[in-house]
Amino acid sequence: MSSRVEILNDGGYRSDGRRQYELRDIDIDLSQQGTADGCCTITHGLTQVLVTVFGPKEAKMRSQTLHDRAVINVEMNVLPFSTGERRRRARADRRILELAATIKSTFEPVVQTTLYPRSQIDIFVQVLQQDGGLLHACINATTLALISAGIPMTDFVCAVSGGVHSTSPLLDLTTLEENDLPHMTVAVMPRTGKVTLVALETRLHVDRFADIFRLAGDAGQALHKEMKRAVKSRATRLVGAMETGMKPPMGGADAFERDVVMEDKMSF
Amino acid sequence: MHKRAPAFCSAARPGASGFCTRCLFRRARMPRPASPSIPEKEFLYSSLKQSLRLDGRNLLEMRAPTLTFGPELGWVECALGKTRVIAQVDAKMVKPPPERPLEGIISIHSELSPMASSEYDSGRPSDEEVTITRMLDKVLRRSDVVDKESLCVLAGQRVWHLRLTIHCLADAGNMLDCACLAGVVALRHFRRPEVEVVGDEVTIHHPSERAPVPLSMHHTPYCLTFAYFPETSILPVLDPSHLEETLSAGLLSIALNAQRELCVVQKAGGVPLAPDEILRIVGIAVDKAKELDKTVEERLKEDWAGRTVEVR
């Protein structure tokens, strides 16, 4: 069925026209969503994930609080229209619970939870569309949402998926490729170059593993640049907006002029 | 007051005094298991720093697995030290689902009751429980251990449904590896009745009539878990005991077969590791899996030699 599609053709192109090591288009949107303290919508090709972060705030359940650090709570929801065939998944689906647990344990050592004792950080992950690389999109979105919430972290966490087609490694797989190839997700912390997460679920020879593993690590570094750029541009915008708002009040004829200046500056 | 039995009262609505506000069932003080004491912790860390383990093993030494086979085929008890797991396989004939008419069905049921350890609650599955069940599913089902097409008897009409039940009896650390080993050995040990198809007629021969046939298996994966500790001077430890597991700062589970094929590599969070370190651990796991494979094969052969299969 699906194996009729050529994964990698003789010219070195993949089914969606990418090269072997080419990542899909990344779109990062850090704009405000409702009352969330931080949020991020990330789009890797046709995979789209929205993460909202609430907190740090006082913990809801007293029994769950820790006296020396904050508790991270991850809830994940896969929307029924996110895949090709529409189907409603139970919230207690083991696969989703596992993904949520993976996200939680990935971020626990990275977020400086000790700064917020007896409190709670809620992370809500909504999967809007999926086309392969679900875990890596969720992790990247969570990193950015935590950053936009202003929660101190020791480093970014950048995740990329990789696979291998006979002997040639590929990066950032789509569903089509994931169904046919052995694949894995690797999350790196770019500053130290260390790996926080490795998830391989399909059979793969040890020798091939090392290739993809190193490649995905390097791709994580490239992704880091993109993520950092998004954070910086968002921060510059916010600072810009703050500057215009904080201009010292001027009287008389200047007041009229100020309005014009503000409008100029507000149109980004 | 709600009418459900107290055991099913979620007790998630505790009042100020710890009583469930709906049924006045007093919630047992379950949520947080007692953590090891500070001296215990210091002692473990300082001894590990000198490459000593509390049970006298080397850092990269597994507890030798003890495999006990039951009178039936496909009944295995596996013990790693005091961790004990029973795995049992049974097969029945069913009609396949229309979307997969040519494949047999394998289902895995894992039972983690509070009997294994007081940390397992009988209510909502905890994070560890989800991890264990999902890992069993990935290692034993998704990595294509059993050839599913060989379980098909009559396309679209009759296939074998294999049911693997895993009972965790005692948790003294590293339940996951023990459960995976028990599961995979049970599948190797199991033999299904011989069937005969004439036209649309399916005859199942009783084991006493015709010798039952072993399952056709693609490979035999073994799961190995390494524990990491917060202090970087401590080297990783294979097959962590319960205390080591609770005091660890991250686990790396690798499932692979003796043919050097990785099936699952799972490192979810925990201390970040250098890429070279992970590749080194994978290399160690390759050797360990080969050793484990040898012992398992020997035990299976021994058991089979001691069995008399009556064929009239």
Find out whether the peptide bond into A56 is cis, omega within 30 degrees of 0.
yes
B221/B240 Cα distance (integer angstroms): 19
Which residues of A are less than 8 Å from B262 in CB distance? 200, 203-206, 209
Q: What is the mean pLDDT of residues A96-116?
A: 92
Residue A34 lies in a domain: yes
Q: What tokens does B207 get? A: 């084991």
Domain around A173: 26-247
* pLDDT given for residue B308 in this prediction: 73
Residue A15 lies in a domain: no
CB contact under 8 A, B269 and A196: yes
Q: Is the pLDDT of residue A124 over 80?
A: yes
Residue A266 phi/psi, 5-degree rounding, is -70, -25
What is the tens place of the pLDDT at every residue in A167-189?
899 999 999 999 889 999 999 99
Q: What is the mean pLDDT of residues A136-164?
A: 95
Domains of chain B: 49-304 (3.30.230.70)
* pLDDT given for residue A244 in this prediction: 82
A251: Cβ contacts below 8 Å, ≥ 6 apart: none
What is the tens place of the pLDDT at every residue in B115-148?
888 777 776 677 778 888 889 999 998 888 999 9
Q: What is the mean pLDDT of residues B297-309?
A: 87
Say which of B127, B219, B260 has its CB closest to residue A206: B260
CB contact under 8 A, A63 and B14: yes
* pLDDT given for residue B264 in this prediction: 93
* A residues 157-216 lying closer than 8 A (beta carbon) to B: 184, 189, 192-207, 209-210, 213-214
Any chain A CB within 8 A of the CB of B89?
Answer: no
Q: Percentage of residues in chain A with pLDDT exceeding 70? A: 89
* pLDDT given for residue B129 in this prediction: 80
Any chain A CB within 8 A of the CB of B290?
Answer: no
B22: Cβ contacts below 8 Å, ≥ 6 apart: B1, B2, B9, B13
User: What residues pair up with B226 in beta bridges, in sequence order?
Assistant: B238, B252
Residue B211 phi/psi, 5-degree rounding, is -65, 130
Residue A229 lies in a domain: yes
Residue A100 lies in a domain: yes
CA distance A234 to chain B (A): 28
Which residues of B are less than 8 Å from A107 in CB distance? 269
Residue A11 lies in a domain: no
Task: Provide the total of helices (H) and of strands (E) in chain A, helices listed first.
Answer: 5, 10
* A residues 62-81 lying closer than 8 A (beta carbon) to B: 63-64
* Strands annotated E in A130-251: 158-165, 168-171, 183-189, 194-200, 204-205
Q: Is the pLDDT of residue A200 over 60?
A: yes
Q: What is the mean pLDDT of residues B242-252?
A: 92
Q: Please, which pLDDT band fits residue B9 given cuts at 50, 70 and 90?
A: very low
CB contact under 8 A, A95 and B275: no
In which residue are the tokens 């650090």 written? A69
Record the pTM. 0.85
Q: The domain spanning residue A171 has which CATH number?
A: 3.30.230.70
What is the tens place of the pLDDT at every residue in B202-241?
889 988 888 889 999 999 999 999 999 988 889 999 999 9
Number of domains in chain A: 1
* pLDDT given for residue A250 in this prediction: 54
Q: What is the mean pLDDT of residues B186-190?
A: 94
Which residues of A are less than 8 Å from B256 in CB distance? 206
B24/B18 Cα distance (integer angstroms): 9
CB contact under 8 A, A206 and B272: no
Say which of B249, B266, B282 has its CB closest to residue A199: B266
Q: Percentage of residues in chain B with pLDDT exceeding 70? A: 87
Any chain A CB within 8 A of the CB of B128?
Answer: no
Q: What tokens does B259 get? A: 């043919």
Q: What is the mean pLDDT of residues B292-303?
A: 93
CB contact under 8 A, B130 and A98: yes
Residue A14 lies in a domain: no
3 state SS for A219-246: HHHHHHHHHHHHHHHHHHHHHHHHHHHC
Q: Which of A49-53, A92-96, B10-14 has the highest mean pLDDT?
A: A49-53
* pLDDT given for residue B6 in this prediction: 42
Residue A6 lies in a domain: no
Q: Is the pLDDT of residue A166 over 90?
A: no
Say which of A105, A204, A217 has its CB closest to residue B262: A204
Q: What tokens does A265 get? A: 């500056």
Q: Please, which pLDDT band fits residue A114 given cuts at 50, 70 and 90?
A: very high
* A residues 90-149 lying closer than 8 A (beta carbon) to B: 94-95, 97-98, 101-102, 104-109
Q: Which of A81-90, A241-250, B8-17, B128-137 has the highest mean pLDDT?
A: B128-137
Residue A87 lies in a domain: yes
Q: Please, which pLDDT band fits residue A77 given cuts at 50, 70 and 90?
A: very high
* pLDDT given for residue A94 in this prediction: 81
* pLDDT given for residue A95 in this prediction: 86
What is the tens place of the pLDDT at every residue in B38-51?
999 999 999 999 99
The mean pLDDT of chain B is 85
Q: Is the pLDDT of residue B21 over 70?
A: no
In which residue are the tokens 């947080």 written? B32
Q: Please, which pLDDT band fits residue A91 given cuts at 50, 70 and 90?
A: low
Q: Please, which pLDDT band fits residue B27 given cuts at 50, 70 and 90?
A: very low
